[in-house]
Structure 1
């Protein structure tokens, strides 16, 4: 089987690169594209952390600022799912842990915007800074009190 170009069939290219690595056939590796892909993988992990934090914070905000919402169980499910997924992500990629403050800072304004949009509340209702630490937001059983 001949070499598959990166641009023609990414899946097959990736499998071939893995096989070449396994065989220690380093001279046949597509080093330039491998470097790009490894860097892109790292960036995707950071974006996933931010995305999951955004969803978690949005639902915590809605929980706190919509205290009379009739059914919060689906928010609770989403909150718990995001906590689980963030924990798994950090377990798989512990080097993301030092990036948590930056990720939280990026995720919070997006969470506020989406919480305002979904709740119909004014952006001014929500704090300008995240009211919870990462540890609080991730704590099992933590659901913020209403103001």
Structure 2
């Protein structure tokens, strides 16, 4: 069944699920199954980090370009917060992951926002200026007057 894994991943999934349902443990491609299960956890964490980066990017744009604020930025902010919340609801063990990733996500967002706004990267704080509590608060948006 290992050949199926590389030749037709979807077929491998279907066959593996059927083998597990029918309790044919000895026929299961255990090595690849372990790899895929581990990959699911990485995917959840990567999704949270990606949404956090996207959220920070739009919060920075909201703060530093008040004249360009748009419903699409607001939609992106709202959607990112929702996606993070849903991921944590599905996997409560990831509740602390956003705080672990806040600074890394900010470091990914910072050059992106500089490029998108055509501002110097030095305009944006070297460390994340927002607490995670504020970042995830559905009622909070940074104001231009908050820029030091």
Q: TM-score, normalised by structure 2?
A: 0.91
Greater share of residues in helix = 2
Q: Is the contact between residue 90 and residue 96 of structure 1 (CA under 8 Å) also seen in structure 2? A: yes
Question: d(CA) in 2 for partners of 1:110 and 1:34?
Answer: 32
Please, what is the CA RMSD of the aligned residues?
1.6
Q: Which residue of 2 aligns with 1:50?
A: 49
Q: TM-score, normalised by structure 1?
A: 0.92
Q: 1:88, CA displacement in angstroms?
A: 0.8
Q: Is the contact between residue 46 and residue 103 of structure 1 (CA under 8 Å) also seen in structure 2? A: no
CA deviations on 1:116-143 (whole Å, 9 max, x unpaired) are: 1100111111111111122211111211
Count residues with an aligned counterpart: 145
- Are residues 1:35 and 2:1 paired? no
Q: 1:18, CA displacement in angstroms?
A: 1.1
CA deviations on 1:85-124 (whole Å, 9 max, x unpaired) are: 1111111111112222222122111111111110011111
Question: d(CA) in 2 for partners of 1:97 and 1:3?
Answer: 35
- Are residues 1:143 and 2:146 paired? no
Please list every run of 5 or more consecutive structure 1 residues that lacks an aligned counterpart in the other structure.
none
